[in-house]
Amino acid sequence: MRLRPYTTLIPKPLVPLGGKYSILEIIIMQLARSGFTHITLAVNHLSQLIMAYFGDGSRLGVQLDYSLEDSELSTIGPLTLINDLPENFLVMNGDVLCNLDYRAFLDAHIKDASQISVSAYRRQVKIDFGVLGYDKEGRLTEFREKPKLDFDVSMGIYAINRSVIKALPCGVPYGFDNLMIDGLASGKRINIRPFSGYWLDIGRSDDYEYADENFTELSALLGI
């Protein structure tokens, strides 16, 4: 919904960049070059268009199949519908542009015996106000004018052990936020893997328009 009006008739993963490729097409090409051969697309909104566009994946050199949601299951819930999950696998959103080495990321997850690995990116957020700090009596103790704050954010790219998904109820809405909160509470081994390369989440119209207008430059960064 954040990418409307572009996604009124086209699902977000099929929104074109540079008049040449869709976002998801770029991701699949990158995965194929990294040695991934079997990809399952969890689809819902306008799924028939995605399935018609990609077919069985042979055009892109991979085996593609589909997991169809009858209702919205958020970001992690759709995985409970997939019966042939490997022991460890890569999970990612369909609207991410980056030059992460996907194979190395998954290999590190397996080597470290992680239950969940999260690729993280440092983002700076500017606060457009004067920020006040004060004590219990209401006296000013700190003032910062339009500060910039740094955060490590999830890139929408994860590696997960199958046991994590098998423990979830099937077909129930369950998001990445639930996975992190429940994982902390239950003591799951969750590894954060910082990434300092190129990353852009095409979730807002401004980000999409930037990527579309600068596609030639981004193509070199993305290796396409």
DSSP helix/strand/coil, 26: helix
103 domain residue, yes or no? yes
Label residue 19 by pLDDT band (50, 70, 90): confident
Closest to 12 measured CA to CA, from 72, 94, 79: 94
Distance CA 167, CA 90 (A): 18
Helices (H), the chain: 23-33, 47-54, 102-111, 162-166, 176-186, 205-213, 215-222
pLDDT at 44: 85
pLDDT at 8: 57
Strands (E) in 45-95, as ranges, are 63-68, 88-92
CB 30 within 8 A of CB 102: yes
* pLDDT average, residue stretch 124-150: 95
* pLDDT value at 3 more than 50: no
CB 173 within 8 A of CB 77: yes
184 domain residue, yes or no? yes
pLDDT at 106: 98
pLDDT tens digits along 176-205 = 999 999 999 999 999 999 999 999 888 777
4 domain residue, yes or no? no
115 domain residue, yes or no? yes
91 domain residue, yes or no? yes
151 domain residue, yes or no? yes
Domain that holds residue 65: 12-222
Distant-in-sequence, close-in-space partners of 115: CB < 8 Å, separation ≥ 6: 160, 161, 163, 164, 183, 188, 189, 190
* pLDDT value at 168 more than 90: yes
* pLDDT average, residue stretch 127-140: 96
6 domain residue, yes or no? no
* pLDDT value at 220 more than 90: no
Count Cβ atoms below 10 Å from residue 159 Cβ, excluding itself.
25
CB 37 within 8 A of CB 138: no
The Cα angle at residue 120 between residues 207 and 118, in degrees rounded to 5: 120
CB 57 within 8 A of CB 63: yes
Q: What is the total count of domains within the chain?
A: 1
CATH number at residue 156: 3.90.550.10
* pLDDT value at 4 more than 70: no
217 domain residue, yes or no? yes
Torsion, Cα 103 66 158 9, to 10 degrees, reads: 110
